[in-house]
Amino acid sequence: MLKVGVAWRKISANGIIYSTLALLALLAFNIFASPGFFNLEMKEGHLYGSLIDILRNGAPLMVLAVGMTLVIATGGIDLSVGPVIAISAAVATSMIGKNMGASNLPLPLVILGALAVASLCGFWNGILVSRIGIAPIVATLILYVAGRGIAQMITDGQIVRVFYDPYYFIGGGYLLIPFSLFVVAGVYLAAWLFTRRTAFGMFLESVGVNPNAARFSGISEKNIKLVAYTISGLCAGVAGILISSNLKSADGNNAGLWYELDAILSVALGGTPLTGGRFSLPGSFLGALIIQTLTTTIYSVGVPPQVVMLVKAIVVILVSLLQSNNFRQSIAARFPSRKGAAR
């Protein structure tokens, strides 16, 4: 009994266990609620099925969660990713133009352009936070407020539609599995190499745990933050390309709406504390997966899709309470016998 208690404590101290359980519970629910949920079919050389749909629709969020994880690891937050998605989508689609089946500019240049502008947006946030010293919520609030205006300015207030198949392939095409998943894999691989195979990840965590201590030990706290926000902008740019290419259009008002909140939620679900410090990229991936599974489940059960917000609220409340030490202690205090066993 004693050992079980200790082991449970170790596992439950790591927030990721609750997220894994939540995902498993959701999948188990789907076995009963929507028959055929786990069916995978081959059609015209593509894999089809609800599980593939979840991965495909969740791709932008998964990419976004990478950048958000790094920013949150520094103890910051990026509210502007939704509008940056809209900006990146607007840049990409206006560079392609409205020609039938052709693009004004070569595709690599289009992608590079959109990513460059999105990185610039992230860089701007980073400058405000690291050099001018504005609180992250406020600094990114500025781009949040202005960003959709900028996106509409780029597209002249229109919803730009593109008719260029190679662009559509990025977010909507298949190479056995959806092509966007290769993009996601690439982003995660790059992020993993950058944070775990270089010292950057350690620097990020040290800045998040204690910026002053990091500075005194010779880590350039300002530059670390600047890089984190720039990467977040870059990730939002990738997400913007995925979304706009899948929809074959860019809508300055609605592209990436609510995504900032979902991205923050993914990171929180993944066990990265929102106060900064230790972060987990696989955790954030899991978080994004849970959110998308939740959405797809609600669609497939036939509940009005708007209700997804209510379910998300309950999930957020549960997860944030479970992550709260004060809450766990107050629960433990209610059940003295269990507390004794755990000791």
Partner 1 sequence: MMLPGLLKRIDRKFLPLIVTILMFVVAFAAASLKYKGFGTPQVFYNMLIDNSFIIISAVGVTFVLISGYVDLSMGAMIAFISMVSAALTEKLGWSPLTTIPFVLLLGMVMGAGMGYMVTYYKVPPFIATLAGMFLARGACFVISTEAININNPFYRSVALYQIPMPGHAFISINVVIMVVMVLLGIYLGHYTRFGRNVYAVGGNEQSALLMGLPVNRTKMLVYTFNGFCSAVAGVVYSFYMLSGYGLNANGFELDIISSVVIGGTLLTGGVGYVVGTVFGVLIQGIIQNIITFDGSLNSWWTRIVVGLLTLFFIVMQRALSSIKTSSPAVNETPPANRSAEST
Which of 121, 67, 16 has the alpha carbon at shortest distance from 260? 67
Q: Is 313 in the site for partner 1 (CB under 8 A)?
A: yes
Query: Site for partner 1 (CB under 8 A): which residue of 101, 306, 333, 334?
Result: 306
Q: Is 333 in the site for partner 1 (CB under 8 A)?
A: no
Residue 244 burial (10 A CB sphere; 0-12, 13-18, 19+): buried
Q: Is 26 in the site for partner 1 (CB under 8 A)?
A: no
b/e per residue 278-307 (b: at least 16 CB within 10 A): ebbbebbbbbbbbbbbbbbbbbeeeeeeee
Contact between 173 and 179 (Cβ < 8 Å): yes
Site string for partner 1, 36-75 (x = CB under 8 A): ----------------------------------------
Other C-beta atoms lying within 10 Å of the C-beta of residue 63: 29
Contact between 242 and 170 (Cβ < 8 Å): yes
Query: Site for partner 1 (CB under 8 A): which residue of 85, 86, 265, 294?
Result: 265
Both tokens of 18, joined, read: 């609750």
Q: Is 152 in the site for partner 1 (CB under 8 A)?
A: yes
Query: Site for partner 1 (CB under 8 A): which residue of 27, 33, 311, 342?
Result: 311
Nearest distance, CB of residue 35 and partner 1, angstroms: 26
Q: Is 268 in the site for partner 1 (CB under 8 A)?
A: yes
Residue among 62 and 298 whose Cβ is closer to partner 1: 298
Q: Is 335 in the site for partner 1 (CB under 8 A)?
A: no
Q: How far is CA 57 from CA 178, 261, 287, 337, in A?
A: 10, 16, 14, 45
Q: Is 213 in the site for partner 1 (CB under 8 A)?
A: no
Separation of alpha carbons 128 and 122, rounded Å: 10
Site string for partner 1, 81-120 (x = CB under 8 A): ----------------------------------------
Which of 215, 212, 225 has the alpha carbon at shortest distance from 74? 225
Nearest distance, CB of residue 183 and partner 1, angstroms: 28
Q: Is 252 in the site for partner 1 (CB under 8 A)?
A: yes
Q: How far is CA 304 from CA 22, 30, 31, 50, in A?
A: 22, 17, 20, 18
Question: How many Cα atoms occupy the beta-carbon half-sphere of 200 within 13 Å?
Answer: 18
Q: Is 334 in the site for partner 1 (CB under 8 A)?
A: no
Nearest distance, CB of residue 161 and partner 1, angstroms: 19
Question: How many Cα atoms occupy the beta-carbon half-sphere of 185 within 13 Å?
Answer: 8
Residue among 184 and 315 whose Cβ is closer to partner 1: 315
| Residues contributing to the site for partner 1 (CB under 8 A) | 77, 79, 128, 132-135, 137-139, 141-150, 152-153, 157, 212, 252, 261, 264-265, 268, 274-275, 304, 306-314, 316-317, 320-321, 323-327, 330
